[in-house]
Structure 1
Amino acid sequence: MKIWGEIMGKADDVMDICLLAGQIMLTYGAETYRVEETLERMAKSASFSNIHCFATTTGIFLSFEEKKEKEDLMQMVRVDDRLQDLGKVTDVNQVSRQFVAGDITIEEAHEKLTAIAKAPMQYPLWLIHIAAGIAGGGFSYLFGGGWFDLIPAFIAAVVSSIVVVEFERHLKVRFAAEFTAAFAGGTTAILLVLIGIGSNLDQIIIGSLMPLVPGVPLTNAVRDLMSGDLLAGVSRGAEALLTSLSIASGIALTISVFL
């Protein structure tokens, strides 16, 4: 009974670190096939067999079997948040490689993963907003705007970035936050042009929307579809489509009100 308890204790610990690793990766922008592959390798390195992992955009199912006792263990974890921080995905991958290679123990892996999950974002919000403004100004020029359109595009993109972050923090509904941010960014762009700051309204509006474009979900949708994960690929594609519709609706409302 003591040996059996030790086996099940190890199985529970391995299950915990596998699901924690998968939850972090899925939350911060990893593809589902990468999550499944990482968890399967971690469980296999811990001497478990008959390993099966199924990940979607909102949850992870993992099961494996202890070779000697032929007992199956299965758990799932739900993932509600979807953020973008590929640095944390890279950190989890590094921990999984160390665990698979045997360089760290189960306890050390759990400590490292917990620290990654609790770590703040790599960059402060003010720097993210400024970077969004620079990207907005750059894209406005790239799409045919002039040098004098860089400043209004920068301001409008910063407004969009601030609004989407703050509204999502309070509303907890990303699509509503993106709609509001598109409306705020478009309104800022139109008002700046009306008072004489900038001349190419279309290019300035395009720049204001760049912080809202769902680049990572769209890229992951294509990669999941190419790897054969049809459910995850379609769901991520639907998420990117809804985001695009939210942005388009916000801009349409802005144009209909102010122009």
Structure 2
Amino acid sequence: MNGFHKTDEKSRTQSPFVHEVAALCVLAGKILLQNGAETFRVEDTMNRIARNFSIENAQSFVTPTGIIFSIENTDITKLVRISSRGTDFRKVTQVNSLSRQVAEGALGINEAYRQLKMIDSSTKTYAPWLQVLAAASASSCFLLMFLGKWQDLFPAFIAGGAGQAAAMYFHRLTKVKFFSEFISSIFVGLIALYSVKIGWGIDLNKIIIGAVMPLVPGVPITNAVRDLMAGDLVSGLSKFAESVLTAFAIGIGITFALALR
């Protein structure tokens, strides 16, 4: 009887259903990690989904560049490499909502996986012109927040919009990390510099500060601090290093532009 019980339990834990649950958990974690979620949120969501499908012994390990998910007492271990990351809180919110529906029993595994695939493949974003306009408007607001003069409002608007447009263009053009931030900050510095030279602007420093704010990696820095506070030291330090390098690229780009003065 004991041997029969062990054989039956082994076949149950290695059934196709368990593989489907593992695939569902990994896909949810992948979407969250690629779109700006914190490490502890990714791990917690994956483990909760597994528990809601009666799998209590799931383990997950998440870093900014990869996900490892395993279920004890089975041969299931999945590794997913994360090569690109961004910020899309719409997708993060959708995955969180789906996780809650799974917890409430409103979604079966097949429907949940189908919806996750739709979320993952969704390319719905704001139009590029609207993103540029939002960055330009934010730059003007940051200028006023840092006590800039009203005469510098228009140069900050133009520089911030041009920097965002350059960042979007070069991000699609190359996969080299930090290159788009470097080039876009050069655009910001040059526009700010020549707007002051021709008399459109007054305070060069305030124009530059306001215009580069949309490029500053605010979300990664915040996530790095939250991960460190949650005890995820590997993820926290790596995200912090990435944020510092991005800020460094922005600073070098501004310095290069000002050197042409």
- TM-score normalised to the size of structure 1? 0.94
Identify which of 56, 59, 63 aligns with 1:52: 59
1:242 offset after TM fit, Å? 0.1
The sequence identity of aligned pairs, in percent, is 43
Q: Which amino acid in structure 1 is aligned with residue 184 of structure 2?
A: A
Match of 1:43 in 2: 50
Task: Give me the whole-angstrom Cα distance separating, in 1, the residues matched to 2:234 and 2:68.
Answer: 14
Secondary structure, aligned partner of 2:86: coil
Post-superposition CA distance 1:28-86 (Å, at most 9, x none): 00000000000001111111132111000011111114xxxx42411110111111111
Native 8 Å contact 2:66 2:80 kept in 1: yes
- Please identify, of 8-17 and 103-112, the stretch whose mean Cα deviation from structure 2 is larger: 8-17
Match of 2:188 in 1: 185
- Displaced runs of 4 or more, over 2 A: 3-8
1:174 offset after TM fit, Å? 3.0
Which 5+ residue runs of structure 1 have no aligned equivalent?
none
1:199 offset after TM fit, Å? 1.0
Match of 1:245 in 2: 248
Identify which of 209, 212, 217 aligns with 1:214: 217
Match of 1:95 in 2: 98
Identify which of 8, 11, 34 aligns with 2:15: 8
Corresponding residue pairs, total: 254
Q: Which amino acid in structure 2 is aligned with residue 96 of structure 1?
A: S
Change (3 A) 1:22 1:49: same
Task: Give me the whole-angstrom Cα distance separating, in 2, the residues matched to 1:120 and 1:18.
Answer: 21
Identify which of 90, 98, 117 aligns with 1:114: 117
Does the alignment pair 1:62 with 2:69?
Answer: yes
1:121 offset after TM fit, Å? 3.5
* Aligned pairs (5 A) from 1:78-89: 78-89=81-92
Superposition RMSD on alpha carbons, in Å? 1.8
Match of 1:104 in 2: 107
Task: Give me the whole-angstrom Cα distance separating, in 2, the residues matched to 1:148 and 1:92.
Answer: 45
Does the alignment pair 1:195 with 2:202?
Answer: no
- TM-score normalised to the size of structure 2? 0.93
Native 8 Å contact 1:85 1:121 kept in 2: no
Match of 1:165 in 2: 168
Task: Give me the whole-angstrom Cα distance separating, in 1, the residues matched to 2:70 and 2:217.
Answer: 32
Native 8 Å contact 2:167 2:183 kept in 1: yes
Task: Give me the whole-angstrom Cα distance separating, in 2, the residues matched to 1:224 and 1:141.
Answer: 32
1:111 offset after TM fit, Å? 1.2
Task: Give me the whole-angstrom Cα distance separating, in 1, the residues matched to 2:74 and 2:245.
Answer: 43
1:230 offset after TM fit, Å? 0.3
Does the alignment pair 1:205 with 2:205?
Answer: no
